[in-house]
Amino acid sequence: MKVKLPKELRGVRFSLVLPIELNDFDIELLLPILFFTILAEGRGRARIPNDPRTIDVYINKLSQHPALEGFTTPRERRLLERLVRTALITTGHTGRKREAEQITSIVTYSILSYKPGFPKEASRLRSADLFLYQAMHRYLKGDQALRQLLKEIFGRGVKLGKAGDLGGEYDGTTEVDTLTRLSLAFLDGFESARPGLSREKDAHSGACPGLTYELAADLVQYMSAYHRAMPMPAFIHHLLTLINFELFIYTLKVVYAVNALVAQPESLPPAMGEPPAPSPPTLYVDFTGQPGPSQEMAHACVRRDIEAYQSFLSANLLLRQLQSYVEQLRRNSRRRALIDGLLGDATAGPLYLQRLLMLRDQPSIYADIEAHASHDINRIFEENKDPEEPESTLATKYLDELLASAESDLDGLVILLKEGQRDATQNFVRWYWSTGGLTRTEGLLRGQLKYRPSWQYAPTNDLLAVLVQLAAARLNGSENGLNGDQSNHGPTPIRLQDFLRFLDERFGLLVDRPPAPFVGAEYTAAAQENLRAMLRRLRQMGIFRDLSDDFTVQRLHPPYAATSALTSYY
């Protein structure tokens, strides 16, 4: 039986805990809207001036562009259309019958991919663009520095408009590669999307601002270290792989931290500190590719983490409902003074969430909260009465059974809210596997999408290469005291033991030792064999070249690092 909820009680998103909506996510759609959000200084898009369904119109405009020659005959026109569809745009279907074709996004070769305003449905990005903008904005301390960084990395050969009227076009003189020039010519056929209303109301750093800062540091330092060293298509591919992974780890650590805070509000979890300390969970990653103890540990970590997401729904709903009741109680001047005294100056962040939970220890406030919860439970009972059989007790009995284990009205309300929104846990799992890269050729999760027992943590070669690059950028930056600034020299080789420590402390990834609760000689030996399997893969990739068994001298050579070291920055 499905529990019906009054409209006012529906919803699971709570931006003070997590600024991102947990649902299926396509990383390939992100960069154009992220560029727009950064250049528009956090504002959303106004009306989209381009129709994504008129693909032929835009291809015809490109065929007539002054920079192109030789696309006048039907055969040449078909060739151009194939080129546009395979290299410049991604397409999908729209409508209930999924028959109408439309442009879903512009393939990114430059910053100007934001110009048409695609994808049209920004909700599919789950507010990840705004979250990343705010994270890097705080890290770089302002819009000017962030805008300049974006122009240096992605703006070669492009003239941009002002923040209020973005515009943008090829500057006519700078040499760019053929695909980039073709993309810029194609984008001349679109009107420029304009900034709309501010989205600052959604701009929160969430429950773990320290983790948000570290994520921004990873992205900024990675882009600064490698954007000149790599061909742009390869750089964007690696960057998207990194962003997807960062979002996966960030949300997973927030889930664990919030669950821990709700269970024990007396102390803040390590992930909520600033700077954050190494925090749960630890993810054992398998490189052996063979059935055995190593894969067993990688599978077990996935099962544990999915259960954590399921528990997160209750924890998030509890905090969301407490916030709602606090806002209602503040309308009473006497209660407002008492609540403000208990919550202090905090309006967001981990301390605010902790104090929200601690309100339950205040008898007078908690009595009011319980009264509100009891009222909402009664509303749910009324909502679930059968209008055709008002005397029926079937729904009442079912709701009473759900409430039997509740220790308070607030706990009972959370049980009913969770039961009425059971689909939310499936949305959480969709976010988990999509940011984990389960259906992509690069990512942390491997397995069959429709067979969850096959899921395991097993990084692909692309992700492994990106992690080596990131570790080199971060560790070299720390050693040189850069704190996120660009180095005058590219990342240098790093010691294997430093790489393993970076994976563990920054992301909780374990390679050479088993995670809890796996103990014993069998699992220790499996983890050591897993390390050797990773090194064999790194050697095949040209990243690991040392033959010595001594960890203190074994070094990893980040891809493109040698080129980066010889290249001066803008």
Per DSSP, the three-state class of 499 is: helix
- Between CA 143 and CA 134 the distance in angstroms is 10
- Yes or no: say if 233 and 179 are a contact pair by the CB < 8 Å rule: yes
Entry field: residues in the chain: 570
- Between CA 19 and CA 128 the distance in angstroms is 8
Query: DSSP letters of 181-192?
Result: HHHHHHHTTSPP
- Percent of the chain topping pLDDT 90: 80
- Yes or no: say if 344 and 310 are a contact pair by the CB < 8 Å rule: no
pLDDT for 96? 65
- Between CA 192 and CA 194 the distance in angstroms is 6
- Between CA 458 and CA 460 the distance in angstroms is 7
Choose among 130, 132, 108, 128: nearest CA to 118.
Answer: 108
pLDDT-wise least confident of 198-212, 318-332, 535-549:
198-212
Choose among 301, 225, 220, 221: nearest CA to 256.
Answer: 301
Give me the phi and psi of 124, to 5 degrees please: -70, -15
> What are the tens digits of pLDDT across the range 55-72?
999 999 999 999 999 898
Choose among 366, 69, 19: nearest CA to 203.
Answer: 19
Residue-averaged pLDDT of the chain: 91
DSSP lists the bridge partners of residue 92 as 102
In this predicted structure, the answer to whether residue 547 has a pLDDT above a threshold of 70 is no
Query: DSSP letters of 506-568?
Result: II-EESSSPPTT--SHHHHHHHHHHHHHHHHHHHHTTSB----S-TTT-EE--TTHHHHHH--
- Between CA 50 and CA 58 the distance in angstroms is 10
In this predicted structure, the answer to whether residue 567 has a pLDDT above a threshold of 70 is no
In this predicted structure, the answer to whether residue 430 has a pLDDT above a threshold of 90 is yes
Query: DSSP letters of 74-139?
Result: HHHHHHHHHHIIIIIEEEEEETTTT-EEEEEEEPPSSGGGGTT--SS-GGGGTTHHHHHHHHHHHH
Provide the pairing of β-strand 283-284 with 509-510.
parallel
The 8-class DSSP code of residue 54 comes to -
3-state secondary structure 196-221: EEECHHHCCCCCCHHHHHHHHHHHHH
Q: Which of 113-122, 140-149, 380-389 has the highest mean pLDDT?
A: 140-149
pTM of the predicted protein model:
0.94
**Average of per-residue pLDDT across 107-123:** 92
Neighbours of 397 (CB within 10 A): 10
> What are the tens digits of pLDDT across the range 278-296?
999 999 999 999 999 999 9
- Between CA 16 and CA 205 the distance in angstroms is 8
- DSSP H or E segment with residue 469: helix 461-479
Angle, to 10 degrees, between the axis of helix 333-343 and the axis of helix 293-329? 140
- Between CA 14 and CA 127 the distance in angstroms is 12
Residue type, 216: A
In this predicted structure, the answer to whether residue 399 has a pLDDT above a threshold of 70 is yes
CA 285 to chain centre: 20
Choose among 81, 48, 44: nearest CA to 62.
Answer: 81
Work out the angle at residue 412's Cα, subtended by the Cα atoms of residues 407 and 417, and round it to the nearest 5 degrees.
155
pLDDT for 94? 76
pLDDT-wise least confident of 43-52, 169-178, 381-390:
381-390
pLDDT-wise least confident of 197-206, 426-435, 494-503, 507-516:
197-206
Residue type, 291: P
- Dig out the tokens for 60 from the structure: 């015809």
pLDDT for 570? 29
- Yes or no: say if 363 and 357 are a contact pair by the CB < 8 Å rule: no
Higher pLDDT, 434 or 347: 434
pLDDT range class, residue 484, cuts 50, 70, 90: very low
- Between CA 429 and CA 451 the distance in angstroms is 13
**Average of per-residue pLDDT across 175-201:** 89
- Between CA 554 and CA 536 the distance in angstroms is 13
- Between CA 272 and CA 210 the distance in angstroms is 7
pLDDT range class, residue 486, cuts 50, 70, 90: very low
Q: Is the dihedral of CA 258, 260, 429, 287 positive or negative?
A: positive
> What are the tens digits of pLDDT across the range 129-180?
999 999 999 999 999 999 999 999 999 999 987 655 788 899 999 999 999 9
Neighbours of 381 (CB within 10 A): 15
